[in-house]
Amino acid sequence: MVSVGFKTDRGAVRTGNEDSLFVMPDQNLYIVADGVGGHNSGELASRMAVSYIAQYVAINPVTAIDSKIQLKRYFKNCFEGANELVYNKAGEDPAFKGMATTAVLCCIKDGWCYIVNVGDSRAYLVRDGELRQITEDHTCVRNLVNSGVITEAQALTHPDRNMITRAIGGDSFIVPDYFQFELCPEDIIILCSDGLYGEVPADTMLQIIEASGSSMHRLAKSLVAEANRSGGKDNISVVCLKNI
């Protein structure tokens, strides 16, 4: 059984919200997306991608997939379809040129957690009092850190820290990252856009998680509130899941 809480907020600075989230409790599937592009096209991109994924799962229930190998192929096809939709839409009208979206998806099935992502929206695992980032950001800064050009500390203030290298709709072809692990009792999974972790350090996030108890609704609200208190310079979206 999974307890769920979620919240999206435009933040303290932005006038609109280009984030999208979707929860499908009957399929144990949850999505956060963060759109990019001017003139509200980022909002369109995130909504199109989330809507496509939700429809794909509704038509082809994930509950009917039997093996882990089939599940990886299933989500690869799903993300490729969403990418094609957004990419083609961006090419139809100059107003939508360059629009794209990040996406992070969590599926819980038969005691296992499956994470799929493109871009810099993240998935975290909280287990035994520790917060661990599951996904790796697809950003220029992360590439620089991985290659040893800059340090983790320098990455926090790098001028290109928000420049993503992989996104749904950003190119005609994408390769999503895929992670799987067996769940333990009391595990908490957090999906979020960069509006959360860009404002709330990991240690503060963990303190809020511990203070929120078993309520995932309270946790989602508290994380968003803290991001806004810390500046709220971007849209903020959070989905919180607890394995109970």
**Amino acid of residue 30:** Y
Virtual CA dihedral for 227, 162, 79, 60, nearest 10 degrees? 10
**pLDDT over threshold 70, residue 149:** no
Taking only the tens place, the pLDDT of each residue in 198-209 is 999 999 999 999
Q: What are the structure tokens assigned to 91, written together? A: 């090419």
Taking only the tens place, the pLDDT of each residue in 2-12 is 999 999 999 99
Q: At what angle do helices 41-59 and 68-92 cross, to 10 degrees?
A: 140
Taking only the tens place, the pLDDT of each residue in 96-136 is 988 999 999 999 999 999 999 999 999 999 999 999 999 99
The half-sphere exposure of 109 on its side-chain side, counting CA atoms within 13 A, is 20
pLDDT for 42: 93
**Amino acid of residue 32:** V
Q: What are the structure tokens assigned to 8, written together? A: 């999206």
Taking only the tens place, the pLDDT of each residue in 92-101 is 988 898 899 9
Q: What are the structure tokens assigned to 93, written together? A: 């009208």
Query: pTM score, two decimals?
Result: 0.94
Q: What are the structure tokens assigned to 194, written together? A: 């960069």
**pLDDT over threshold 90, residue 142:** no
The half-sphere exposure of 57 on its side-chain side, counting CA atoms within 13 A, is 25
pLDDT band at 146 (very low <50, low <70, confident <90, very high): low
pLDDT for 221: 98
Question: Cα–Cα distance between 241 and 244 in angstroms, integer?
Answer: 9
pLDDT for 66: 86
Of residues 146 and 58, the one with the higher pLDDT is 58
pLDDT for 1: 87
Number of domains in the chain: 1
**pLDDT over threshold 70, residue 140:** no
Q: Tell me which residue range forms the domain holding 118.
A: 2-243
Burial class for 203, CB neighbours closer than 10 Å (0-12, 13-18, 19+):
exposed
Question: Cα–Cα distance between 117 and 214 in angstroms, integer?
Answer: 26
Contact between residue 173 and residue 79 where contact means Cβ atoms under 8 Å apart: no
Burial class for 107, CB neighbours closer than 10 Å (0-12, 13-18, 19+):
buried
**pLDDT over threshold 70, residue 157:** no
For the chain, give the number of residues: 244
Question: Cα–Cα distance between 193 and 167 in angstroms, integer?
Answer: 13
Taking only the tens place, the pLDDT of each residue in 8-56 is 999 999 999 999 999 999 999 999 999 997 667 999 999 999 999 999 9
Q: What does the DSSP 8-state code read for residue 40?
A: T
On average, the pLDDT of the chain sits at 92
Report the CATH number at residue 61. 3.60.40.10
Contact between residue 45 and residue 86 where contact means Cβ atoms under 8 Å apart: yes
**Amino acid of residue 10:** R
pLDDT for 150: 64
**pLDDT over threshold 70, residue 141:** yes
Q: Give which of 33, 36, 128, 158 is closest to 90, Cα–Cα.
A: 36
Dihedral sign, CA of 124, 127, 132, 135? negative
Question: Cα–Cα distance between 133 and 4 in angstroms, integer?
Answer: 19
